[in-house]
Structure formats: structure tokens, C-alpha cells
Structure 1
Amino acid sequence: MAAELYTSFFGFSERPFTLLPDPDFLFWSENHSRAFSVLEYGIATRSPLTVVTGEIGAGKTTLIQKLLSALDEDVTIGLISNAQGGRGELLRWVLYALGINAHSQDDYITLFKRFQDFVINEYAEGRHVVLVIDEAQNLSIEALEELRMFTNINSNKDELLQLILVGQPELRDIVASPALAQFAQRVTATYHLKPLDFKQTKAYIQHRLMHVGGTGNEISVYAIKSIFDESGGVPRMINKLCDLALVYAASSENRVVGINVMRELVADGLFIKTRDHGVYVLENPVKPSLDKAAE
């Protein structure tokens, strides 16, 4: 396998640029630190609604996983990813995330009472419930308004239920729409996660290289500048380009990814750069020389 070839070639303990969210690799850029502080603030102050947005691949899910791993035992978490649908369907997603039984024949009132009883019982046991909704931009206006109604479970003095919404930039526009005026009023903390600048991109790449046992200099500064230009500073896109660049370098037995490797990679057309700098790598990108190098 190409990836195994380059990890062995460079002496890495594992691939430094996988696409799966991994809190162990988290790079604390200024933006990521602030976004995490907003999430922590929301939890600490029992904010009814906290909203964090960012471009695709900006690191939102990784931040959420880091947050969940750091929460105290007095917090009951329900994590919902890619929920879709309108009123009623969302409630079933919520019940499933919290491990609450929901039968197909149960009507909405029965399901909501089951949810409300769960939240109140958790509070009586000294815990409060936090619902994290990832990819929240997929929710309809009706579903978001239903989430606001969920917060009515809270008492006058104590917050029994908190909601954290994480999504792409369009989530901000949705929340700001006139139809969700009451929803927006309950948002206590919000933050938009921006792409990395060049300095941060350089530090990010070196951080991940050193995390797997590298020196941090396996990718030259000129190559990093090319990676930044092609990726727009979006971490997931940086990972895709770095991963391919290391494959190319190893196949040619180059110990350093230089600008020539990046030029070759770009010229081979293994990815498509969209208008907003999103990069989509084509499936099974295999460079002919890899077969020879692997023999």
C-alpha cells in the first residue's frame, strides 16, 4: 500500500495526515483555541444554545470530540450527526442519542414526555443533559424551532438542558433568518472557525509530522506555501495534499517534499479545486512509479 510505503520510508509511527477527526492530532491555532473556549464557556455557564460554524474540513468535529473527552461525569451527552427531517423525526434522533427507548407506534406527546422525564431525572441525580448536533445546517427551520422548544424544559433558575449546534457557514444565515428570531435570542455564545493562514498552516503541518515521530522538516517551506495556496488553509484539504505529497516523495525516494514534488502532484490532476478552495481528491490516486517502488 502506498500509505504504508511512505510511513516506513519516513520512519513515521502512523500516517500524519489522515482525514478522520482525531483529537490526539489537534493543533491549537488561535482560531481553534477561541472556538474551544466558546464551547467550554457554553458548558460552564449552562448556555441554552451555543453555535459554532466553520467551512467543511475546518476541524469542527475534532473540537467537539475533544470537548466531549474533557467533560465532567455530571454531564450526560447526546451526540447527533447528520440529523435530517422535520418535527417528530428530530425528537426520535434525540431519544436515540440519549439511549431512550422510542417505539414506532409512540405518538409525539408520548415521546416528548419520555424525553422530558429523562432530562428532569438526570437533573435530580445531579447531572445535566447536553445535546450536540453536528452538521446542524441540514436541519429545517421547523426542526430548529423544535430545538428551541426543547429548552423550555429548563426551570427559572437552573438549566437542565443545553444545546450545542455545529455546522457549516450557512448555519449562521439560517439562525439569523426572521423565522428564527426567538431561536437567535437564546443563543448565548457563537463562534465562526476560520481557515488557517500561512503561518498557522506551516505550524500545523510541522505539528502533525512531529506527532508521528518526524522532524517536522519532511515538507519544505516552499512546498508548504504551495499546499497553502491550493488548500486555502482548510485543515482537511491540507491533510489530503500532504498525504499525497508524501506518497509522491517516497515513491521517488526523496526524503523531503520539495516544490518540484508539489508541482508534479498538481500537474497530474489528482484533485479538483473548487471556487472556495475545497479540494476533492479523485479515488485511487496511484502514481505509476509507486508499483516499481513497492517491489
Structure 2
Amino acid sequence: MSKLLIYSRHFGLHGRPFSLLPDPNFVFWSAIHARAYAMLEYGLATFAPIILITGEVGAGKTTLVRHLLHTAASDLRIGLVSNAQAGRGSLLHWALLSLRQPIEGRMPYVNCFAQFEALLRAEKARGRHTVLIFDEAQNLSVSMLEELRCLSNLNSENDELLQIVLTGQPELNRLVDRPAMQQFAQRISARFHLTGMPMEAVGKYIAHRLKIVGAEQEIFSPAACELVSSASRGLPRLINQICDYALVYAFADDRTAVDADLIRQVIADRKLSSPTASAEPDE
């Protein structure tokens, strides 16, 4: 912690600007992220049964989900299921736990389903509807996705009870686009694929995060930002990783600014130019 404080003070900052943890306080509305979030809002407003947001590893999907959780309207009851996988418990158990519902021992499926449906209808009676968000949904099995499709059958023309939001990596798109998944795909009424930011947005992203923690002058040169953009492919997590290391290097060298040469050192030392460089949990 003391090293972090010295690192921050060196640049006149009051926090760490490039943490790898998803933080809605740092959300940056690039054009691509604004479109992704607009599609998420559109899906919720039009009561899309299933909403699908995919993107590269580190593209910012989880940060958008966290922003939704912090800004959701009071008429939404939201449950977040992170990293559910086949063989790690019943999907309905995951759903009930995310909605803070007690589960007594090994409840039979029919009891879980009855409890889940009762919750949805109770929320509807209060003027609210329920949203289940499955983050890292590429880990769901075909049978789990089929179970989600069946849960969406609880909706009818007169009862809009449940919406399902899936966020995941590109393989989730390939999974739901299989011919055998046609029925599931037909339930997806809002869909967006999140890519990396263009070069012109990366410098603004870096400046945005620095400003939030109190930066009053330019720390990364335009040439440094261009190199960060190229090495990261515009993916926020890789940008954060490169920039965080660059600030550590600059602090060690007693520099108050980061230039292109310093970014080259970071990329070479950390081998960050590879598309699979980051193995951290998703944004």
C-alpha cells in the first residue's frame, strides 16, 4: 500500500488510475461502449426476453454490467450470476442465490422452480420485473442455455416477468449461432458485439482515467498513447495493464511523464504485444 501511495503522490494523484478491476466510477463512454450500453438499455425498455452482449476478453463488458447495477431503475429486481458453469450447481440455484433467496439443502428442481416463479410473480405484483444477468456466459452449457430459454417461457402477453441478459466472450456468439440453437437465438431481441476502441479514443480514455484521480497535467504523450493503442488493440484491460506498468517505470526512473520509448520498454519487458497477453479475469 505504501508503494501505491508514493506512486500516486509522484504524479499528483489520489488513487490508482489503471486498476484491472471493473469499476463503474471509471466508465468511459467511447462510441462503441455507448452503443453497447444503448442496446442493453433498449433491450430492457422493450422487454427483450434475452439480451446478448459479447466482446473480446477485456473489452469492458463487466464494467457495463456494474454500471447497470449502480444505475438501475427502482422497478427492476436484478440478480447477477458470475461465472456459472455446468457441473457447479443447478442453474436455478445460481439464479435464486443471485436474487438473495434462501435455499434449503438439496431442493428438488420442481421446488426450486416453484420458488422462482413465485418470486417473479410477487415482484410483478409490486410493479417490478426481474432481470437475471449471467456474466461470463460462454461457460454455460447448451443444456443450461436451453433451460434459460424455457425460463423465458414464463413470460406471456399479459405477464412480463423475467428478462435474461447474457454477457460473454466471442465463443458465446458461435454457440448460440449453431443451427441446433435456433429456438434460443429467436428469443434474443437485443444483441451487440463489443470491440476494441479506435486509436483516437484511446488517448481520451487514458486522460479520462487520470483526470478522475486528480491528474492536472498531461502524463502520457500523444506518441505514447498511439503505441498503447496499437499494443492493446483498444481493449480497456490491456490499456490499463500497459499504462499501470508505464507509471511504475516512470516513477522508478523519477520521470513525471510517459513517452513512447517508455511504452516500448513496457511492451518488450511484459510481452504485452501478444493478443493473448492478459490472463486476468474479465474486465
TM-score after normalising by structure 1: 0.90
Q: Distance in 2 between matches of 1:191 and 1:227?
A: 25
Percent identity of equivalent pairs:
45
Residue 5 of structure 1 and its aligned partner are, at CA, apart by 2.5
Residue 248 of structure 1 and its aligned partner are, at CA, apart by 0.6
Q: Distance in 1 between matches of 2:21 and 2:139?
A: 21
Counterpart of 1:254?
255
SS in 1 for 2:58: coil
Deviations 1:185-218, CA, capped at 9 Å, x for gaps = 0100000111011101111111111111113510
Q: Distance in 2 between matches of 1:87 and 1:105?
A: 13
Answer with 160-169 or 79-88: which moved more. Answer: 79-88
Counterpart of 1:156?
157
Deviations 1:13-45, CA, capped at 9 Å, x for gaps = 101101111111111000100111111111111
Structure 2 letter corresponding to 1:209: L
Counterpart of 1:266?
267
Q: Does the Cα contact within 8 Å between 1:205 and 1:216 map onto a contact in 2?
A: no
5 Å-filtered alignment, 1:47-196, equals 47-85=48-86, 89-196=90-197
Counterpart of 1:280?
278
SS in 2 for 1:279: coil
Taking structure 1 as reference, are residues 61 and 216 closer, same or farther at Cα in structure 2, changes over 3 Å only?
A: farther
Q: Distance in 1 between matches of 2:143 and 2:20?
A: 33
Which structure carries more relative contact order (alpha carbon 8 Å, separation 6+)? 2
Taking structure 1 as reference, are residues 219 and 87 closer, same or farther at Cα in structure 2, changes over 3 Å only?
A: closer
Q: Does the Cα contact within 8 Å between 2:55 and 2:169 map onto a contact in 1?
A: yes
Q: Does the Cα contact within 8 Å between 2:177 and 2:185 map onto a contact in 1?
A: yes
Structure 2 letter corresponding to 1:270: R
Taking structure 1 as reference, are residues 271 and 281 closer, same or farther at Cα in structure 2, changes over 3 Å only?
A: farther
Q: Does the Cα contact within 8 Å between 1:35 and 1:191 map onto a contact in 2?
A: yes
Q: Does the Cα contact within 8 Å between 2:242 and 2:272 map onto a contact in 1?
A: no
Taking structure 1 as reference, are residues 50 and 83 closer, same or farther at Cα in structure 2, changes over 3 Å only?
A: same
Q: Distance in 2 between matches of 1:95 and 1:30?
A: 35
Q: How many correspondences in the alignment?
A: 279
Q: Does the Cα contact within 8 Å between 1:88 and 1:108 map onto a contact in 2?
A: no
Residue 222 of structure 1 and its aligned partner are, at CA, apart by 1.1
Q: Distance in 2 between matches of 1:26 and 1:272?
A: 23
Q: Distance in 2 between matches of 1:123 and 1:216?
A: 51
Taking structure 1 as reference, are residues 266 and 72 closer, same or farther at Cα in structure 2, changes over 3 Å only?
A: closer
Q: Distance in 2 between matches of 1:2 and 1:262?
A: 21
Deviations 1:112-139, CA, capped at 9 Å, x for gaps = 1111111111111211000011000000
Counterpart of 1:288?
none
Residue 3 of structure 1 and its aligned partner are, at CA, apart by 3.1
Q: Does the Cα contact within 8 Å between 1:87 and 1:146 map onto a contact in 2?
A: no
Q: Distance in 2 between matches of 1:273 and 1:220?
A: 19
Q: Distance in 2 between matches of 1:198 and 1:224?
A: 8
Counterpart of 2:5?
4
TM-score after normalising by structure 2: 0.94
Which stretches in structure 2 are left out of the alignment for 5+ residues? none
Q: Does the Cα contact within 8 Å between 2:267 and 2:273 map onto a contact in 1?
A: no
Which stretches in structure 1 are left out of the alignment for 5+ residues? 283-295
Taking structure 1 as reference, are residues 236 and 216 closer, same or farther at Cα in structure 2, changes over 3 Å only?
A: farther
Taking structure 1 as reference, are residues 175 and 194 closer, same or farther at Cα in structure 2, changes over 3 Å only?
A: same
Which has the higher Rg, Structure 1 or Structure 2? 1
SS in 2 for 1:73: coil
Residue 184 of structure 1 and its aligned partner are, at CA, apart by 0.5
Taking structure 1 as reference, are residues 28 and 219 closer, same or farther at Cα in structure 2, changes over 3 Å only?
A: same
Taking structure 1 as reference, are residues 124 and 196 closer, same or farther at Cα in structure 2, changes over 3 Å only?
A: same
Residue 62 of structure 1 and its aligned partner are, at CA, apart by 0.7
SS in 2 for 1:190: strand
Taking structure 1 as reference, are residues 281 and 86 closer, same or farther at Cα in structure 2, changes over 3 Å only?
A: closer
